[in-house]
Structure 1
Amino acid sequence: MIYLFFVKHYSTVWIYCSFSTVCILEQNFDGIILICQSYEQLPDELECLKAPLQDYSAVDCCVGEEISLTKIRNVTLATKLNKIRNKTNALLFLLLCSLVFDFSACLYQCNLVIFLCHQPLEVREHKSSPHKVAVLGIWVKNQAQGEAVTELATALESGRLVYRDIGGSDPERMAAPRVAEYVQAVFKDSPVTVTVVSNLNTLEKEYPCLAAVNRCANTVPRHQARVIKLLYCGEGPIQQTLMVVGKGITYDTGGADIKAGGIMAGMHRDKCGSAAVAGFFQILAKLKPKHLKVVGAMAMVRNSVGSDCYVADELVVSRAGRRIRVGNTDAEGRMVMVDLLCEMKEQALKEVSPQLFTIATLTGHAIRAMGPHYSIIMDNGAAQRSGNALQWQKAGEVLGDLFEVSTIRREDYEFHKGKSEYEEILQSNNLPSSATPRGHQTPAAFLIMASGLDKHGVDSDKPLPYSHIDIAGSSGPFPGVPTGAPILAMATKYLEL
């Protein structure tokens, strides 16, 4: 159960100063946030809290069942934490978590509380105070524990902050050129190298499927596409190479297959796959893991509608040389990623122990199949043989970044085979994914086929492990704040948290 209690004055604690600098300070706190199973289990050091909690539980039957707030020493509180944050500037909170110290649980609880303190980018840019909470302290008995938790929690939250800035901001504030500027600023003077591709001729030559989606938006300079490439190389000999492509649709009108009936609202969130790529690189920049190389690509494109938009029935030849028939312009996410995935495939053949990924808010079917709150991961044969998807699922359990596992089947590949001699591959049928059987699995098969990864399966001389991750259900509610999925699971799995 989670109990939140607020009180003035407490002892020496570990502090987050503006979510970045860690130090030991004597601090007068505006409130205490207590996370535990039962206040009866409080240790001797917190004996002073037992009496107020017992008194409060006598008048509030919800204590022990849900989040509870109480008033101690005349601290005036609103009924909900978010109301307190919004009405009061520069609050100082002390977090009491994991009374019997468990590192993973403490890290999870820290990130949960910091997440509640998030201030959206547009708000930060128009208010004098960049944070809702000025200082967050963590109560621990051991200095080394405090240092380790604060370092990791700060790094993880910095990644989620980047994710939320890109993924949650409106389609003009985070139009593709401005995303590129933001990413360049974030990684200035860091171990991450950033390269931005903006030239239309280069986009058309190297990424023809992406260029087709960009064709309409390209007539508006502030909406023109960007491919943002990120590179991190850890110290020492490289033992593993991660290669990640993110879907970054800055706004999805549906294109010529326009989204109707009011379902276009919220489509600025269709860039959360690319936001996850940037967020993960921010964690890498903070923690600097050794022996790891990570290559990232953010496909930042607006799927606009107009006289120059790409349309169903068009034939587009992918970077891998596959003739693709467009079936539905609202299936643009797979189009903007497929050539970048092909480029990653080409590079992967030269890398040490490569693993390829695509991350996207790709299908409504993902939500229909698994419900909200869950990411879905699907392995190709080479990744499945190593148990990759199950490892991701296990890693996600550690910090509450939850996964369901799906399987790519033969009929998914059959679904995307060309239906006439004109095309080799059908991009999509003309139905929404949510109305299509296996609507979240078939796009993974398309990405494999259209990128040429089907030539690198388990029966090839050079098999390449690849996984597709659909975060349509887990990326966060709208209206609401993006969650940061799946970067906590990624960090847990590959950075050995």
Structure 2
Amino acid sequence: MATPHVQVFSTLNELSDHTHDFDAVILVGPHFSGLDSRIDEALKSATKVHENITRTGGVIACELVASGRLILAPTGSLDRDYDDVRRFYDAARKAADVAEQSGARKPVLMAVNVPQDATFENALALVYFGFSQGLYQPLEAREHFGEGLEPIQQVGLIGEVDGKWLHAVEEGRRVARDLCGTEPERMSPLRFAEYCQSAFAGTAVKVTVLDDRPQLEVEYPLLSAVARASFETNQRPCVIRLEYTPEGPVEQTLMLVGKGITYDTGGADLKVGGHMAGMSRDKGGAAGVAGFVKALAHIQPKGIKVVAELAAVRNNIGETAFVADEIITGRSGVRVRIGNTDAEGRLIMADCLARMTELAVDEKEPVLFTVATLTGHAALAKGPYTALVPNKTAERSGSVDALLSAGELWGDPAELSPSRREDYDFVAGRTKADDLLSSNNGPSATTKRGHQFPMAFLVRVAGLDKHQFSSETPIPYVHIDIAGSGVEGGDWQHGKPTATPVLALSGRYLR
């Protein structure tokens, strides 16, 4: 892996006085005046030949470093109501391409003229994360061309930041991008598990891979139904369990479930009309959970215990595939009538969430999460933003508000979608033969409350309704739908994975 390492300097002068081999300075900000006399002179010379260079960005000559490269990465205006810290992320992401093309191999990054507003307090950190996003190349490409495909291995940062923390979180984001973005044969369920075993080797995270068919059918019956047509192939399913226990007393337990559909054909309710392309990224939820745990493995926070399960399944087509109308009893004993096989993500997470619910009653201050590229409706309703669907306990305890705030501050924003009574009515069983309906038989994007009602299904199928706000053992639970935010530009076949919600979760729990 080639996550850029970080060396931190306090000021430009410290960089100048230091023995180093940095070969470019990249300035990211709304304007570039008033920083240093050498920069002012360079800007004066550059604007004589390119009048708009400070607005368009680019490379100019400056003697700040031996190579003489100064790269301008303008954010644009930052004083409008809708501007936020992502302006720095986006500008730095573009600057990565400029830096590589200019021949820079060890650049220094600096956020300049940052507004004195709490909204922008993590501007320099977002410059690093955005720059790293721009440098990232897919796993398949790195394996083909070699790790030298990403030539920038180290960056300098000028400002007050914790370089080790940033590097740890970026390591997690790289894991998330690799797992989400890699093609379906290279990242089949068991190879997904192998990647996780390698990623966590030598860390305090215990990795357990459950792939025994009889065990899965008993403990994860809904997942096994989705995987029925893949058991006898090289795409057979598994559950990847990640466990981290800190040194010293546990103050809070985070329990996460990630949807890892390594390829979603739609099953018997086949995706047609070209809608299957990009469905190898339907594992973005499991990827995001793994990425967060990877960051945690490096940071090793005190007081926080983490238990995660990644449900890795291919929704295969075949004569043994599960079909609509089947009634399957989940781990919790709840009988589920299948409404549509293309609503498979909630099914593979259901038994994992049921297990977490069983364990949570004995944990210290538990908070439960499901993370998934679950519904087209979330992408339609929220655009490029993550949708958070909490239960009442998560709302009243402040859990969801804290996550929303962290997302804003760390450039990984989400929007709230409260759960309502209509959602529970929607998934209620229709006859005495079943307790729950998994979904309707239409696309989520054309279904009212299409990204909210799946959360109600998950609550009921996991037995979380026995731990509602008015119960003796209320458990906070937040469903995180990243269908709109999981890849750049909404391009599920070609867009770079964003590694969401690693930044939001890390900003909330790992600071």
TM-score above 0.5, yes or no:
yes
Could you tell me whether the CA contact under 8 Å between 1:106 and 1:149 is conserved in 2? Answer: no
Residue in structure 2 matching 1:398, options 400, 406, 409: 409
Structure 2 counterparts to residues 217-228 of structure 1, below 5 A: 217-220=230-233, 222-228=234-240
**How far apart are residue 268 of structure 1 and its match?**
0.6
What TM-score, normalized to structure 2? 0.87
Whether 1:451 and 2:462 are equivalent positions in the alignment is yes
Whether 1:357 and 2:347 are equivalent positions in the alignment is no
- Unmatched tracts of structure 1, length 5 or more: 1-16
One-letter code aligned to 1:113: F
**How far apart are residue 319 of structure 1 and its match?**
0.6
**How far apart are residue 82 of structure 1 and its match?**
6.0
Structure 2 counterparts to residues 77-92 of structure 1, below 5 A: 81=95, 84=98, 91-92=105-106
CA distance in 1, matches of 2:410, 2:152: 24
Could you tell me whether the CA contact under 8 Å between 1:244 and 1:297 is conserved in 2? Answer: yes
CA distance in 2, matches of 1:257, 1:162: 31
Matched residue SS, 2:152: strand
**How far apart are residue 71 of structure 1 and its match?**
3.4
Cα distance, 1:413–1:171 mapped onto 2, change above 3 Å? same
Matched residue SS, 1:428: coil
Q: Give the corresponding residue for 2:498.
A: 483
Q: Give the corresponding residue for 2:41.
A: 51
Cα distance, 1:139–1:253 mapped onto 2, change above 3 Å? closer
Q: Deviations over 1:81-114 (max 9, x none)?
A: 5655676777221212246798622112111112
**How far apart are residue 388 of structure 1 and its match?**
2.1
Give me the CA root mean square deviation.
2.4
Residue in structure 2 matching 1:39, options 32, 44, 50: 32
Cα distance, 1:126–1:427 mapped onto 2, change above 3 Å? same
Q: Give the corresponding residue for 2:158.
A: 140
Could you tell me whether the CA contact under 8 Å between 2:97 and 2:134 is conserved in 1? Answer: no
Could you tell me whether the CA contact under 8 Å between 1:382 and 1:465 is conserved in 2? Answer: yes
Cα distance, 1:76–1:295 mapped onto 2, change above 3 Å? closer
Q: Give the corresponding residue for 1:12.
A: none
- Unmatched tracts of structure 2, length 5 or more: 10-17, 63-67, 74-93
Residue in structure 2 matching 1:96, options 101, 105, 110: 110
Matched residue SS, 2:146: coil
CA distance in 2, matches of 1:129, 1:461: 53
CA distance in 2, matches of 1:131, 1:111: 19
**How far apart are residue 389 of structure 1 and its match?**
1.9
Structure 2 counterparts to residues 181-330 of structure 1, below 5 A: 181-220=194-233, 222-330=234-342
CA distance in 2, matches of 1:216, 1:263: 21
What TM-score, normalized to structure 1? 0.89
Cα distance, 1:227–1:135 mapped onto 2, change above 3 Å? closer
Cα distance, 1:285–1:200 mapped onto 2, change above 3 Å? same
Cα distance, 1:481–1:415 mapped onto 2, change above 3 Å? same
Matched residue SS, 2:256: strand
Matched residue SS, 1:355: strand
**How far apart are residue 55 of structure 1 and its match?**
3.7
One-letter code aligned to 1:19: P
Matched residue SS, 1:423: coil
One-letter code aligned to 1:105: A
Whether 1:412 and 2:423 are equivalent positions in the alignment is yes
Q: Give the corresponding residue for 2:452.
A: 441
Cα distance, 1:419–1:65 mapped onto 2, change above 3 Å? farther
CA distance in 2, matches of 1:456, 1:419: 24
Could you tell me whether the CA contact under 8 Å between 1:56 and 1:70 is conserved in 2? Answer: no
CA distance in 2, matches of 1:452, 1:226: 22
Could you tell me whether the CA contact under 8 Å between 2:376 and 2:445 is conserved in 1? Answer: yes
Could you tell me whether the CA contact under 8 Å between 1:162 and 1:275 is conserved in 2? Answer: yes
Cα distance, 1:200–1:263 mapped onto 2, change above 3 Å? same
Whether 1:108 and 2:93 are equivalent positions in the alignment is no
CA distance in 1, matches of 2:411, 2:365: 28
Residue in structure 2 matching 1:384, options 392, 395, 407: 395
One-letter code aligned to 2:123: A
State the identity %: 42
**How far apart are residue 136 of structure 1 and its match?**
3.5
Cα distance, 1:213–1:83 mapped onto 2, change above 3 Å? same
Could you tell me whether the CA contact under 8 Å between 1:234 and 1:288 is conserved in 2? Answer: yes
Could you tell me whether the CA contact under 8 Å between 2:182 and 2:280 is conserved in 1? Answer: yes
Matched residue SS, 1:223: coil
**How far apart are residue 185 of structure 1 and its match?**
1.0
CA distance in 2, matches of 1:234, 1:64: 48
Whether 1:173 and 2:163 are equivalent positions in the alignment is no
Q: Give the corresponding residue for 2:378.
A: 366
CA distance in 1, matches of 2:350, 2:55: 47
One-letter code aligned to 1:347: L
Cα distance, 1:345–1:139 mapped onto 2, change above 3 Å? closer
Cα distance, 1:375–1:58 mapped onto 2, change above 3 Å? farther
Q: Give the corresponding residue for 1:19.
A: 4
Cα distance, 1:202–1:61 mapped onto 2, change above 3 Å? farther
**How far apart are residue 54 of structure 1 and its match?**
3.3
Q: Give the corresponding residue for 2:439.
A: 428
Q: Deviations over 1:299-319 (max 9, x none)?
A: 000011111111111111011
Could you tell me whether the CA contact under 8 Å between 1:86 and 1:132 is conserved in 2? Answer: no
One-letter code aligned to 2:41: A
Residue range with higher mean Cα deviation, 459-468 or 80-89: 80-89
Matched residue SS, 1:419: coil
